[in-house]
């Protein structure tokens, strides 16, 4: 077992790279590289790319984790079904190991990818909260623009064998449970899993696995700067005619303020901000499966488009 440090990027196929790039720009990503057959999109943080689209019929292919070291690549390469450590000959470089998960999604474990200069943040203002008054003598004046995606925060998968998939990700990549949800029979039926970086605080989850008759992508989720970016992104995507899925609201499990959209090929993507941060000392939460889709405020799950 190794302990991955974070989710790195997601990989798709689509028949029209221009159409995908146009949507992703409106969603708040920026092109880092493009070839005749593939598109690489980044956020404002230094990651070379967060989203890859290869030319082909629409499909979600899989996603990548960052390894803590090259040594970890050699360790994970010994797992049954894993590739050897290989040099990456696509934009971003580095080295990787690949292996399929129980539903056949391609999982890439990467290390040594190129870093890019961070991009400037626009529409950023210090908030005033009750007695905490950081913005003094300055006005909030927001420019109409896309939300700026910072990084890829988590992936949600629909899986055909929950127990096997849960064991796969935890035993191979060191994920630990933040919240487990049970069905009417009291059985654990889905888990929110985070990376394990010891005492360091990390996102509530980088992976959520949900039992389903058919394997597929639930969604991928990008962190944005603050709630202003959530609402600005919503209005920008709405004005440009993109298809909305669910939001705006605040989840219970994970606490994120969220807003979900569909890309042109039907894959769901999320903007989120202000999520819970946990470390290895945080106890596991336990709740009913219905709680996973409940909200503290905003659009409830009955309004969720599929």
Whether residue 212 contacts residue 262, with contact meaning beta carbons closer than 8 Å, is answered with: no
Contacts of 25 (CB under 8 A, 6+ apart): 31, 146
Helix axes 227-239, 17-27, angle to 10 degrees: 140
Q: Report yes or no: 213 and 159 within 8 Å, Cβ to Cβ.
A: no
Q: What is the spatial distance between Cα 28 and Cα 249, in angstroms, rounded to a whole number?
A: 19
pTM: 0.96
Give residue 52's pLDDT: 98
Sign of the dihedral through C-alpha 209, 212, 216, 221: negative
The residue assigned the tokens 């999982």 is 107
What span, in angstroms and rounded, lies between the C-alpha atoms of 8 and 225?
A: 18
Assess contact for 87 and 81: CB atoms under 8 A.
no
Query: How many structural domains compose the chain?
Result: 1
| pLDDT given for residue 290 in this prediction | 83
Assigned domain for 176 exists? yes
The CATH number given to whatever domain includes residue 103 is: 3.10.180.10
Work out the number of other CB atoms within 10 angstroms of the CB of residue 14.
Answer: 21
pLDDT attached to residue 152: 98
Taking phi over 0 as left and psi of -120 to 50 as alpha, with beta for the rest, 229 belongs to: alpha
Q: Which residues contact 283 (CB under 8 A, 6 or more apart)?
A: none
Domain encompassing residue 74: 6-116+146-303
> Six-digit token pair at 14?
């689509």
**pLDDT 10s digits, 115-160:** 999 999 999 998 898 989 999 899 999 999 999 999 999 999 999 9
Query: Residue 238's CB: how many other CB atoms inside 10 A?
Result: 12
pLDDT in tens, 36-59: 999 999 999 999 999 999 999 999
Dist CA 222 CA 70 (whole Å): 26
Alpha-carbon distance of 22 to 30, in angstroms, equals 10
End-to-end CA distance of the chain: 36
Question: Which two tokens mark 203?
Answer: 């996102």
Q: Which residues pair with 286 in a beta bridge?
A: 180
Rounded to the nearest 10°, the torsion over CA 174, 179, 182, 186 is 80
Q: Is there a domain that residue 178 lies in? A: yes
Total residues belonging to the chain: 306
Which residues of the chain register pLDDT less than 50?
none
Closest alpha carbon to 197 in 19, 40, 57, 68: 68
- Report phi then psi at 32, rounded to 5: -105, -30
């Amino acid at each position: 077992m190794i302990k991955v440090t974070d989710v790195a990027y997601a990989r798709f196929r689509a028949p029209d790279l221009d159409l995908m790039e146009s949507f992703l720009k409106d969603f708040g990503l920026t092109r880092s590289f493009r070839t005749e057959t593939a598109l690489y999109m980044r956020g404002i943080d230094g990651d070379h790319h967060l989203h890859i689209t290869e030319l082909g019929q629409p499909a979600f292919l899989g996603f990548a984790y960052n390894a803590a070291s090259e040594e970890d690549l050699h360790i994970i390469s010994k797992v049954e079904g894993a590739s050897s450590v290989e040099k990456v000959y696509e934009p971003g470089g580095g080295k990787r190991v690949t292996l399929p998960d129980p539903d056949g999604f391609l999982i890439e474990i990467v290390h040594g990818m190129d870093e890019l200069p961070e991009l400037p943040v626009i529409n950023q203002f210090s908030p005033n909260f009750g007695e905490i008054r950081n913005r003094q003598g300055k006005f909030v004046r927001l420019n109409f623009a896309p939300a700026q995606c910072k990084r890829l925060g988590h992936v949600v998968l629909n899986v055909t064998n929950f127990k096997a998939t849960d064991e796969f990700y935890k035993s191979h990549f060191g994920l630990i449970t933040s919240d487990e949800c049970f069905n009417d029979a009291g059985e654990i039926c889905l888990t929110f899993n985070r990376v394990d970086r010891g005492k360091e605080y990390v996102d509530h989850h980088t992976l959520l696995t949900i039992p389903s008759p058919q394997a597929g992508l639930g969604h991928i989720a990008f962190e944005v700067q603050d709630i202003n970016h959530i609402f600005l992104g919503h209005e920008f995507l709405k004005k440009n005619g993109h298809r909305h899925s669910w939001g705006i609201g605040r989840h219970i499990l994970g606490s994120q303020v969220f807003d979900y959209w569909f890309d042109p090929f039907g894959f769901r993507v999320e903007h989120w901000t202000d999520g819970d941060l946990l470390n290895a000392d945080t106890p596991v939460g336990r709740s009913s499966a219905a709680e996973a889709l409940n909200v503290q405020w905003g659009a409830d799950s009955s309004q969720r488009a599929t």
